[in-house]
Amino acid sequence: MSKFSEALQSHKFVVTGEVGPPKGVAIQEMLESAELYKGRVIAVNVTDQQSAVMRLGSLAVCHLLKDMEIEPIFQITCRDRNRIAIQSDLLSAYVLGIENVLCLTGDYVTLGDHPQAKPVFDLDSVSLLQAAVQLQQGRDLAEKEVQGFPKFFLGATVTPGANPLEPQIIKMEKKVKAGAQFFQTQAVYEPKKFEEFMQAVKHLGVPVLAGIILLKSAGMARFMNKNVAGVHVPDNLIEEMEKAERRVDKSIEIAARLISELRGLCQGVHIMPIGWEKRVPAVLDAAEL
C-alpha cells in the first residue's frame, strides 16, 4: 500500500505537489525542484505530456522520483496511446514500484506543439480506470489472463468550478463506479463555491484534494479566467495581485489563505506551482502545514 493511500485512508489532511518533465533530457532543474518537496508533501504528481506538449515521459520521471525516495503519482493520459500501450505502461509502472495512478483523458493535440499529430483516445478516463481495475483482477481488456496481479491506488480529476456543475458530478460518479479512489481538482479560488461542490458529492465518500495554482500575476489570473474552463479567479484576488508591491509574497499569502479556508472542506490540497516549486515550502509554512 502506498503512503499516499495510507494517509488518505487514515483521514489525515494531505498535501501533494507536482513536477513537469522537461522538454528534453536536461533533468537537473526538475530533480532540484522535486527535492524541495521531500518531507513536505506525501506524494508528487508527474505530468504526462501536459497541454499536449512533447516532453520527457512521466513514467521515467516517476522512476527517478522513486530513486530519490519521493513517492510519485503517475499521470497517464489516453491521447497518445492505444489500449495496448496504456495497459503495458500500467504494468510497467507497477513493476517499477509505482502504485499511485492519476487517470486522465488528456488535452487535445491542437492545444500543443505538435498540432499535426494524430490523437488516439482509444480509451477515456473512465475506461482507463476500468482497464486498471481489470488488470488488478488478472485480466486485460481482451479478457486474457495476465501473470501476476498489479495493485494500484487509482485517482481521477474533477472541475468543481464548472458551470453547469451537474455534468461534472455525473462524470465523477462514473469515475468512482469505474474504480477512482481519490480525486484531485482543477484550481480552486472560491472556497464558498467549493463548499457547495463538496456538499453535492458528499454521497460518493471519496477523498478530494483541492487544486491550488500559485498566482504569478494579475495577468495570469485574467488569462485563466478567459481560457481555462471551470476556473474563476475573483476580482478581489486579481486586485490584490495588481496592487501588491511584492508580487511573490502576495502570491504565497493568497495560496496559504486558500489552503486554510479549504482545510475543513476536503481531505487535502494538490499544489500545482507551474515552475514556482521553490515557493511551495513558503506556502506550506504560511499555511502552517
What per-residue confidence (pLDDT) applies to 108? 93
CB atoms < 10 A from the CB of 183, how many? 25
What per-residue confidence (pLDDT) applies to 229? 87
Any bridge partners for residue 139, and if so which? 145
Predicted TM-score of the model (pTM): 0.95
Classify the C-alpha dihedral 131-132-137-138 as positive or negative: positive
Q: For residue 61, which of 103, 106, 18 has the smallest C-alpha distance? A: 18
Q: Is 148 helix (H, G, I), strand (E, B) or coil?
A: coil
The one-digit pLDDT tens for each residue of the chain (289 residues) are 899 999 999 988 999 999 999 999 999 999 999 999 999 999 999 999 999 999 999 999 999 999 999 999 999 999 999 999 999 999 999 999 999 999 999 999 999 999 999 999 999 999 999 999 999 999 999 999 999 999 999 999 999 999 999 999 999 999 999 999 999 999 999 999 999 999 999 999 999 999 999 999 999 999 999 999 899 999 999 999 999 999 999 999 999 999 999 999 999 999 999 889 999 999 999 999 8
Domain positions in the chain: 3-286
CATH architecture, domain defined by 3-286: Alpha-Beta Barrel (3.20)
* Helices within the chain (DSSP H only): 3-9, 28-35, 58-67, 83-95, 125-136, 166-178, 191-200, 218-227, 235-243, 247-262, 280-286
**Exposure of 269 by Cβ count < 10 A (0-12 exposed, 13-18 middle, 19+ buried)?**
buried
**Grid cell listed for 135:** 488488470
